[in-house]
Amino acid sequence: MTTNSLDLASLLCSRLCHDLLSPIGALNNGIELIIEEKDPEMRKRCFELLEQSAKISADKLKFFRLAFGAAGGYGDMVPVEEARSVVDALAGNNGRIEVRWSFGGDTLPKPAVKTLLNLALIGIEALVRGGTLDIGAEMRIDDSGGTSEIVVRAAGSRIAFDETIGQALAGTLHPSELSSRTAPAAMIQQLAASLGGGLQYALSEDALVLGAVLPSG
């Protein structure tokens, strides 16, 4: 699969806007209610909803900044705690997903962090009824510079995984089927291929396992 970079960027922007529409819309509705509402107790509830919507919006923006953006402000290596904090916040807003982590070091290359976040996003979306999300990553140093290995396992009572996302991860998705839903998977597939690495996934009735191997040199 080959995708025009401008088309891919446009679809990623569409995805970001789609995911932010709900919490920002809730903010707007909450402000309108506060203007009209006179009951103190109801106004208190409106402020609580506003606070919740603002937090969700901020959490998503922080996540997408690292997952889709250039991760400005960081060097070639990104602290793993940055990745952990944005995924924990995103999953925490879901309320039904437990995230468990295993890191082999304190930092990862930017491409590895971007890949990890997008695989985590796919895993979170697969857990439509909640469950556990196990994420592991480490960088193995070798003569060529190093290789990042990432694994994400989403397990729950129901796994929802669109096969077109799998095709995007494998690089077999036809360009005509690319959408804002499959664009994140297509982006990290192209990223992995550009580094000489690859992505894998395995789907069973109660789990989705996603993996990546990314050379750094």
C-alpha to C-alpha distances, 69 to 63, 84, 186, 212, nearest whole angstrom: 9, 17, 15, 19
Is residue 82 within 8 Å of residue 117, measured between CB atoms? no
Strand partners, 103: 137
Query: What is the pLDDT, as a whole number, of residue 165?
Result: 97
Q: Amino acid identity, residue 165?
A: I
pTM surpassing 0.85? Answer: yes
| E strand or H helix that includes residue 62 | helix 40-67
Cβ neighbour number for residue 75 with a 10 Å cutoff: 9
One of 3.20.20.80, 1.20.1250.20, 3.80.30.20, 3.30.565.10 is the CATH number of 5-215, namely 3.30.565.10
Q: What percent of the chain has pLDDT over 70?
A: 98
The dihedral sign for the CA sequence 203, 195, 136, 69: negative
| Mean pLDDT of the residues in the chain | 91
Q: What is the pLDDT of residue 72?
A: 66
Least confident of 18-27, 100-109, 195-204: 18-27
Is the pLDDT confidence value at 7 over 70?
Answer: yes
CA atoms within 13 A on the CB side of 7: 10
Other beta carbons less than 10 A from residue 115's beta carbon: 30
How far is the C-alpha of 185 from the C-alpha of 167, rounded, in Å? Answer: 9
Residue ranges per structural domain of the chain: 5-215
pLDDT for 39 equals 82
The whole-number average pLDDT for the span 181-192 is 96
Whose CA is closest to 205, among 88, 126, 93, 108? 126
Q: How far apart are the first and last CA of the chain?
A: 24
| 123-144 confidence digits (pLDDT tens) | 999 999 999 999 999 999 877 7
**Least confident interval from 31-40, 74-83, 111-120:** 31-40
How far apart CA 112 and CA 118 sit, in angstroms, is 10
Q: Are strands 131-140 and 97-103 parallel, antiparallel or unpaired?
A: parallel
pLDDT at 128 (0 to 100): 93
Cα distances (Å, whole numbers) of residue 30 to 25, 65, 93: 9, 26, 18
Instruction: Please name the residue that has the structure tokens 């129901």.
Output: 158
Percentage of the chain modeled with pLDDT above 90: 67
Task: Report the pLDDT value the prediction gives residue 28, as an integer from 0 to 100.
Answer: 83
